[in-house]
Amino acid sequence: MTFNYPSSVSLVEVGARDGLQNEKAEVSTEQKVTLISLLAASGLKRIEAGSFVSAKWVPQMADSADVFARLAAFEPASGAQVTYSALTPNVKGLEAALSAGVSEVAIFGSASESFSQKNINCSIDESLRRFEPVVKLAHSNRIRVRGYVSCTLGCPYEGDIASSDVARVSRQLSEMGCYEVVISDTIGTGTPVKTARVLDAVMQHVPVNQLAVHFHDTYGQALANIHTALQLGVSSIDSAIAGLGGCPYAKGASGNVATEDVLYMLDGMGIKTGIDLSALLEASLYISDVIGRLPQSKVAIALRGG
Amino acid sequence: MTFNYPSSVSLVEVGARDGLQNEKAEVSTEQKVTLISLLAASGLKRIEAGSFVSAKWVPQMADSADVFARLAAFEPASGAQVTYSALTPNVKGLEAALSAGVSEVAIFGSASESFSQKNINCSIDESLRRFEPVVKLAHSNRIRVRGYVSCTLGCPYEGDIASSDVARVSRQLSEMGCYEVVISDTIGTGTPVKTARVLDAVMQHVPVNQLAVHFHDTYGQALANIHTALQLGVSSIDSAIAGLGGCPYAKGASGNVATEDVLYMLDGMGIKTGIDLSALLEASLYISDVIGRLPQSKVAIALRGG
């Protein structure tokens, strides 16, 4: 078998946003900034650091402006060229993000009509129309936009989602100007063959070097799916330090795939990332201590000692 | 990409042996038999149920003869044609296993010279010579023999192991008469490319339908590796209910890959196993309750409710 394995992979660290947004423990602005600085110190170059949404709906991200202000202050000192991004669902959020000095933003569409209706209260098409001015304003400020597609490998309301629906939304986000489209397994029900089928369909419309994958590890399938994406040539992968994003003791809770476990696989496969595993472990143990539980990463558990 | 995915897979359940052997909690004979009967009720047809080794070295398996006696008593009632196997390191162990009524036995060689010396106190070649009379006696009793090869994807003493060494030991076990050779990642350090390389080397000498894979999930890589083995056409997979077990030679030991998680992947890929996931969950929750911790299976955690 010959595969299109990439020689290097760009990891997008989403623990400080997608992860912490779904954790019950309170994490202070100071602690978030410490976490992000540890992540940057490990060699991560792309870090999702916050979300400019209503504090009423996502109280965990209410301090995102403060987080970005602090990041702007310490970044020059670190010397690293790190991209700190934020989720911006609308123009109002984007304006706040621009004021806070974000270096990249993300919007999020859904491949499932029911999920779109229940989650953002409008149809897929309407949601895409609402994103157009967001992308335009971002571009006029020389800010790149990433586009998430949720529920690509299953929907909590509809179950299976047609690959053609995923491909259509992906194409529209790409045509709208998103430099990268993120195929997301929101509920973690994806398995390898389905992953390959969906990616194949999307790749008919969006070049593989403009694709990323984002897996939740609810059913332990994330690494097998990521490996499948690598075989197809995908070279941009989302993950969250310590598998943040879901407490294993609560039903239905589903963390992101752990950055440590993804890195272990990539290192073992000889795929370059520029990230240092032992430095990453420091970040993992730090935030796990803050939220008061063990890392949801087998690599972190195995290597932490004790 | 076209793959040699098998249309069906035979799962070999090793939780009651490899799993419990490496758990600290005491599990009574009664509890083992209950576990095994729950496993058989889920549709598993191949269950490793014990080990005929010195009780001094492996006290957890000291009651294996009793376990098999109990299994022989209840099997006819269940109506299922289940193979209950046992590890037998030598002729003495095999004789005890035969008396206990086992339906299959297993022997275990190593691909690592250092591991062989430290684990069974002799060279690889010497260990293989010692197995010859075991295989002969088993065959003369119409008992099939499975041959494990340990440390195929890494050794705690030597690190990387040459694929050619794995292939040589695999070939020798096959030539000796083992009907199936089990490529085992004893310390869980394997990743997909290495897994494919080792399996490719072994498949030069042993037909793929006489190969099985056995992964520990110490670093979370097991499902990605199993998926790689499936792509190469391997259709026999070891796993342990609730991710039981761990390798005493690995720091931060973690268990075998969880049967539930493997089954979830196979079900999602449309690969038949004849096993019912909800019945399997009963076995998982039962033994996890007995040993006093949560299942080490993301699927079990996600589906158990509450």
Six token digits for residue B286? 């039962």
CB-CB: which of B269, B270, B299 is closest to A220? B299
Measured between alpha carbons, how far is residue A276 from residues A33, A298, B251 in Å? Answer: 19, 17, 20
Q: Can you give the pLDDT at residue A124?
A: 97
- What is the spatial distance between Cα B148 and Cα B174, in angstroms, rounded to a whole number? 10
C-alpha triplet B218, B219, B223: angle, nearest 5°: 90
Task: For residue B238, list its beta bridge partners.
Answer: B12, B214
Q: Does residue A78 surpass a pLDDT of 80?
A: no
Number of Cβ within 10 Å of residue A45's Cβ equals 16
Distance between the two ends of chain B, CA-based, in angstroms? 41
| B189 Cβ under 8 Å from any chain A Cβ | yes
Residue of A nearest to B267 (CA): A191
Instruction: Fill in the DSSP letter of residue B209.
Output: G
The residue that leads in pLDDT, A134 or A21, is A134
For residue B157, which amino acid is it?
Y
Nearest CA in chain A to B220: A298
H helix runs in chain A, sequence order: 20-21, 29-41, 64-78, 91-100, 113-120, 124-140, 163-176, 192-203, 222-231, 259-268, 277-291, 298-303
If you count residue pairs, one on A and one on B, with CB atoms under 8 Å apart, how many are there? Answer: 121
Residue B264 maps to a domain: yes
Would A242 be classed as within a structural domain?
yes
- Radius of gyration for chain B, computed over Cα atoms and rounded to the nearest angstrom: 18
Q: A131-140, A227-236, A294-303 — which is least confidently predicted? A: A294-303
Specify the residue for token string 């359940």: B13
Enter the tokens of residue A26: 């309170």
Q: Taking all residues of chain A, what is their mean pLDDT, rounded to a whole number?
A: 93
Chain A contact for B265 (CB, 8 A cutoff): yes
- Assess contact for B299 and B253: CB atoms under 8 A: no
Minimal Cβ distance to A298: which of B192, B219, B305: B219
The reported pTM is 0.95
Beta carbons of A220 and B224 less than 8 Å apart? no
A261 part of a folded domain: yes
Number of structural domains in chain B: 1
Query: CATH number of the domain that B39 lies in?
Result: 3.20.20.70
Determine the pLDDT at residue A276: 98
Q: Do A298 and B254 touch (CB under 8 A)?
A: yes
User: Considering B151, B155, B178, B247, which one is annotated as catalytic?
Assistant: B247
Q: Which among A90, A150, A162, A147 has a CA at the least distance from the CA of A116?
A: A150
Interface list for A 152-171 with B (CB within 8 A): none
* Contact between A224 and B219 using a beta-carbon 8 Å cutoff: no
**Which residues of chain B lie closer than 8 angstroms to A231, CB-CB?**
1
Work out the minimum CA distance from B136 to partner chain A, whole angstroms. 38
Q: Provide the chain A residues 271-300 that lie in CB contact (below 8 A) with chain B.
A: 297-299
pLDDT at A79: 55
pLDDT score recorded for residue A1: 57
Q: Compute the distance between CA of residue B93 and CA of residue B85 in angstroms, rounded to an integer.
A: 13
Rounded to two decimals, the ipTM of the complex is 0.93
Joined together, the tokens standing for residue A43 give 């060699």
Is residue A4 situated within a structural domain? no
Cβ-Cβ contacts under 8 Å for B297 (sequence gap 6 or more): A220, B242, B243, B258, B259, B260, B261, B284
Whether B3 maps to a domain, the answer reads no
**Structural domain boundaries enclosing A278:** 10-304
Q: Would residue A247 show up in a list of annotated catalytic residues for this protein?
A: yes
Q: Helix, strand, coil % (nearest 5) of chain A?
A: 50, 15, 35
Q: Which amino acid is at B57?
A: W
Q: Is residue A120 part of a domain?
A: yes
pLDDT value for A214: 98
Half-sphere exposure of A113 (CA within 13 A, CB side): 4
Domain assignment present for residue B160? The answer is yes
Does B51 touch chain A if contact means CB atoms closer than 8 Å?
no
Q: Is A229 exposed, middle or buried (0-12, 13-18, 19+ CB in 10 A)?
A: buried
Q: Compute and round to an integer the Cα radius of gyration of chain A.
A: 18
A58 interfacial to chain B (CB closer than 8 Å): no
Q: At CA B175, angle to CA B173 and CA B176, rounded to 5?
A: 60
Q: pLDDT grade, residue A37 (50/70/90)? A: very high
Whole-number pLDDT of residue B235: 98
CB contact under 8 A, A270 and B190: no
- Cα-based angle B284, B290, B291 (whole degrees, multiple of 5): 90
Q: Compute the distance between CA of residue A199 and CA of residue A153 in angstroms, rounded to an integer.
A: 10
How confident is the model at residue A23, as a pLDDT?
86
Gap from B245 CA to chain A (nearest CA, Å): 14
Q: Backbone phi, then psi, for A268, in 5-degree steps? A: -65, -25
- Which residues make Cβ contacts (< 8 Å) with residue B98, sequence separation at least 6? B137, B141, B143
Give the active site residue among A122, A151, A155, A247. Answer: A247
Task: Say which residue the tokens 């489209």 belong to.
Answer: A181
Say if the Cβ atoms of A223 and B220 lie within 8 Å: yes
The mean pLDDT of A91-100, rounded to a whole number, is 97
In chain B, which residues have pLDDT < 50? Answer: 76-77, 247-250, 252, 306
Q: Tell whether A304 lies on the interface with B, counting CB pairs under 8 A.
A: yes
Element (DSSP H or E) covering residue B168: helix B163-176
How far does Cα A73 stand from its chain's mean position?
A: 24
Could B220 and A264 be called an inter-chain contact, meaning their C-beta atoms sit closer than 8 Å? yes
User: Hunting for tokens 């004979």 — which residue is that?
Assistant: B29
Contact B302 A231 (CB under 8 A): no
Residue B132 placed within a domain: yes
Question: What would the mean pLDDT of A119-146 be, rounded to a whole number?
Answer: 96
- In this prediction, residue B249 carries a pLDDT of 44
CA distances from A107 to A85, A97, A214, B238 (A): 11, 12, 14, 42
